[in-house]
Structure 1
Amino acid sequence: MYLIDTSAWVEYFRRTESPTDLLVTRLMGEQAPVVLTEPVIMEVLAGARDQSELIKLERLTEGLPLVRVDAVRDFVNAAHTFRAARSRGVTVRKMLDCLIAAVAMRAGATVVHRDADFANLTKVIPTFEARSQ
């Protein structure tokens, strides 16, 4: 299962032809098990440039399975993840990325991204799986 982060969706929507864009394109084309979570939906929808793009993005996000944030467990695990990274000298710029990582770990999903925070988390959290091409 693949939880696609906002950073990877941006590559995909812009058709950058980056390795991350190509990976998302392949996963979507193969109808791989792609899921979303609420923080990613929020970020994707907030980035819509106009109303027509917002409608298009809403259709996409409504059409993919949702792994819901567990309001207690995932926030606590996100805090532990952030602290574990910091204690090992690894900087995580956005705590929201720790929440997305916590949701993915609980669900057994691999995060597809183009974001240094996720790359850094793979160095300090052995159970966290992420891919950035």
Structure 2
Amino acid sequence: MILVDSSVWIDFFMGAQNPATRQLVRLLSDRAFTLGSADLVIYEVMRGFRPGKLMREAQSLLTALPQVSLGGLDNALEAATHYRALRALGHTIRSPIDVLLASYCITHGHLLLHRDGDFDVLETLRGLRVWRH
């Protein structure tokens, strides 16, 4: 499964053209890959919308994908371990949700499509697998 970070979804819904959004468009139309949606990523994306047609379309698309939950004790503890290990090496990840998302992907062997530099250190030092665009 490929999970998509809010950094890509937000650009996608704003109509931004960049390598990550073009890759997302390809993945959405290619049945050979399974895209998934994470609960806290949906929260990050949906909180920025004004009520209206685009908000409803975004919610419909995001909730139609297979869902994963980033919460739960096991992922919280694993994410904290990743965060502490990176902090000890001098790297601080800004978003707790990013650490939870990366931890879930690492634990479950999922790929991540993103446009956020914080994930680069998680890839290099903690084994996060990313989908290249």
TM-score by length of 2: 0.90
Deviation at 1:95, TM superposition (A): 1.5
For 1:107 and 1:10, how far apart are their aligned partners in 2? 24
CA RMSD, 1 decimal: 1.5
Match of 2:7 in 1: 7
Match of 1:54 in 2: 55
Q: Which runs of 4+ in 1 moved over 3 A?
A: none
- Could you report, residue by residue, the CA deviation over 1:95-116 in whole angstroms, capped at 9, with x for unpaired residues? 2100011111222211100001
Amino acid of the structure 1 residue aligned with 2:99: C
Deviation at 1:4, TM superposition (A): 0.4
The question of whether the paired residues in 1 share the 8 Å contact of 2:40 and 2:69 is answered with no
Q: Percent identity?
A: 28
Matched pairs, number? 132
| SS of corresponding position for 2:3 | strand
Match of 1:28 in 2: 28
Q: Report which stretch shifted further, 2-11 or 42-51.
A: 42-51
For 2:83 and 2:23, how far apart are their aligned partners in 1? 27
Structure 2: segments with no counterpart, 5+ residues: none
Structure 1: segments with no counterpart, 5+ residues: none
Q: Report which stretch shifted further, 49-58 or 20-29.
A: 49-58
